Amino acid sequence: MNIQHLRYALEVEKTGSISKAAENLYLNQPHLSKAIRDLEENIGITVFNRTSKGVVPTKKGSEFLVYARNIVSQVEEVENLYKHGESDSHNFNVSVPMACYVAQAFIEFVKDIAGSDNMCIHYHETNSIVAINSVTNHENNIAIIRYQTVYEKYFLQFLEERDLDVDPLWEFSYQLIMSIHNPLAMKKAINVSDLEDYIEITHGYLTIPSIPASKAREIRMNEGAKREIAVYERESQFMLLRNIHKTYMWASPTPASIMDTMPLIEKKCNMKNNKYKDVIICRKGYRMTSQEKLFVEKVRKEIEKLNNVD
């Protein structure tokens, strides 16, 4: 079996078109068509059905392509390891939730590899569905996702359907973050009803996979009317919190070193269904690189620090 043919098949699957795949691969179409036929003859199945609208994987073809992706990913990992030398080459790509403790871990991770002569790093803060798709589509090898525990079964089913492994990081309650000048900052105990006259800064990233329509209606009814500003970038969130003293934001526990520089304050608040989980996901059978292991180690150390504070 030719590894290059596997790469060709994956590109055909991605584009749904022999001609488009050939263009992306800088091949002529007859050559790519022949390579796909040779692959199918070699493995003894039809990988793609040719239709008037393009090509689509057969049932057996879809199963084969899952294995093909894993094989190509592992071959590329070995090539990167020995072609450039693992000790002084760092290629790292991860998707994560918008969480300060993860960002702090990322800073510590970069400190450890900053002396490398060869470095290519992509750090993407996004929602859980985008992160899941990035791993499924081999854009990332690992990701950290976040979900409310009340929706855990929907996420776990969604991940299982995509042949992804789950490694728990931690479970926590969201905290309120606000300016030290926010009137609520002086209260010893904050109730949800206290927030009614304040403006919530949201991440704008709430996503729940495959929830029933009845559950979606229930969520909308429970939310009710509120004052909200959806912001997708961390510094803008903090600027609003610092300068508009009637704003607040829900967030995972945040390192004191970050809070003290704002200056912001973290407050507890009793809220229904206020349990969240952050987990690491990767494709089944995937083995993390040394860089990915180092990053996860830094994340777990930040969690340990936060737990010790509590």
* CA 97 to chain centroid: 6
- The predicted model scores a pTM of 0.69
> What are the C-alpha distances in Å from 8 to residues 74, 82, 85, 163, 217?
16, 23, 27, 22, 44
* Higher per-residue pLDDT: 137 or 133: 133
Q: How many residues does the chain have?
A: 310
- Give Cβ neighbours of residue 211 (< 8 Å, ≥ 6 apart): 151, 154, 219
What is the residue extent of each domain of the chain? 3-80, 90-171+277-309, 175-273
- Give Cβ neighbours of residue 229 (< 8 Å, ≥ 6 apart): 199, 200, 201, 202, 240, 247
Q: Which CATH superfamily is domain 90-171+277-309 in?
A: Periplasmic binding protein-like II (3.40.190.10)
CATH 3.40.190.10 fits 175-273, yes or no: yes
Bridge-based pairing state of the strands 54-57 and 48-51? antiparallel
- Identical fold, 3-80 and 175-273: no
Residue that has been written with the tokens 């495959």 in this structure: 210
CATH number attached to the domain at 3-80:
1.10.10.10
pLDDT at 9 over 70: yes
Q: What is the pLDDT of residues 148-203, one digit of tens each?
A: 999 999 999 999 988 899 999 999 999 999 999 999 999 988 999 999 999 999 87
